[in-house]
Amino acid sequence: MTEIAKYGEFGLIKHLTKDLKTVQPSTKKGIGDDCAVMDFGSKKVLMTTDMLLEGIHFNLEYVPLKHLGYKAAVVNFSDIYAMNGTPTQITVSLGISKRFSVEDIEALYSGIRLACERYNVDLVGGDTCASMTGLTISITCLGTAAAKDIVYRNGAKLNDLICVSGNLGTAYMGLQLLERERLAMSQSTPNTPSTPNTPIAAFEGREYLLERQLKPEARRDILESLRKVGVKPTAMMDVSDGLSSELMHICSQSGVGCCVYEDKLPIDFQAAALAEEMNLNIVTCALNGGEDYELLFTCSLDDYEKLIPVEDLYIIGHITKPEYGCNLIGRNGEEITLKAQGWNAFD
């Protein structure tokens, strides 16, 4: 018997779907990108789905249900934006165990509804069923885009610029902070007076890290800015599993290599300070942490001047010939081969 961990998440998907053929003329893009693409007329329909399992993707010891609902919706919106589309509708399906009350599910839905309101998305259906293993959330999101606007993962070209929005590794450091304080609290007695290790003290000044983990935002604003300056990416993904992993997906599907520079990676001061405190390498966290939901894209070198005024956008490298591989250039000029060490659901 072959263990699933041998393949990993993406390897398993590739193995299970390698001989899958599409038969509907309306299916323009199936498995292998952030979204499927269907042609139903003047505009193309994008579709993505995401499942979150208690104990695997979230821990309710420190994740508020309202925040969980918001995040569950937003990560699906992010996939639509990663195709240069606009999210329009979602369906929500839940597996609920007996330990949850109606009020708990109302709190979860209040977060989903808030996300829908902020991103102008309609909640149009779903399903609920009993669960023996806690809480399961499955959201399917639909979106639209004109055919000429859709950006896939396979369009990167030699000498294209590599760009990323926001900062990297911050959500991962937020998770490390939450996990550290959860363990500290579980090891303390109920009547222990407050100490610097209690969450209240540990979280002061680090609210941004917590927000990045518990309540991420999809980068609709970056797409709007790119449209204003007349830039269309050649390839794009959102950073859900870590920068290294996403870069390798783009390079593999585009048939190219890449070169990124350590000193160009956008890293937040709070994240760097906490990494040092926890004896973690912040560059490793930035490359492999995941859950940042920033936009990673490539674009023509000719667009360089247009990109400069775009706020919260960073040029971190360029596309190379495929034989060069995927590499990080360190601060001292050393060349390090990138590896996909981010999130793997089956490890």
Per-position DSSP letters for 264-283, written without gaps between them: GS---HHHHHHHHHTT--HH
108-124: b (≥16 Cβ within 10 Å) or e: bbebbbbbbeebebebe
The pLDDT assigned to 194 comes to 39
User: Coil, strand, or helix at residue 32?
Assistant: coil
CA distances in angstroms from 274 to 133, 179, 182, 187, 282, listed in the order given: 33, 13, 16, 21, 9
Digit-coded pLDDT (tens) for 64-104: 999 999 999 999 999 999 999 999 999 999 999 999 999 99
Query: In whole angstroms, how far apart are CA 38 and each of 17, 22, 35, 46, 185?
Result: 18, 11, 10, 6, 49
* Per-residue pLDDT, 306: 98
**Per-residue pLDDT tens over the stretch 274-287:** 999 999 999 999 99
Taking each helix axis as running N to C, give the angle between helix 207-214 and helix 170-187, from 0 to 180 degrees, rounded to the nearest 10: 100
Amino acid at 250: I
Structure tokens at 212: 């990045």
So where are the chain's domains?
Answer: 25-149, 161-186+197-337
119 within 8 A of 221, measured Cβ to Cβ = no
Q: What is the mean pLDDT of the segment spanning 173-178?
A: 96
> If you average pLDDT over residues 185-204, what whole number do you get?
56
- According to the model, what pLDDT value does residue 198 have? 42
Assess whether pLDDT exceeds 70 at residue 147: yes
How many residues in the chain? 347
Class level of CATH domain 25-149: alpha beta
By C-alpha distance, which of 126, 142, 133 is closest to 38?
A: 142
Half-sphere exposure of 188 (CA within 13 A, CB side): 16
Type of residue at 45:
V
Contact between residue 233 and residue 298 where contact means Cβ atoms under 8 Å apart:
yes
pLDDT at residue 296 above 80? yes
203: pLDDT confidence band, cut at 50, 70 and 90? Answer: confident
Contact 163, 238 (CB under 8 A): no
- What percent helix, strand, coil does the chain show, rounded to 5? 40, 25, 40
Q: Are 216 and 171 in contact (CB under 8 A)?
A: yes
State the sign of the Cα–Cα–Cα–Cα dihedral 144, 164, 311, 284: positive
Distance from C-alpha of 329 to C-alpha of 21, rounded to nearest angstrom = 40
Looking at residue 346, its pLDDT comes to 44
Give the global pTM: 0.87
Q: How confident is the model at residue 192 (pLDDT cuts 50, 70, 90)?
A: very low
Fold of 161-186+197-337: Phosphoribosyl-aminoimidazole Synthetase; Chain A, domain 2 (3.90.650)
341, 288 contact by CB (below 8 A): yes
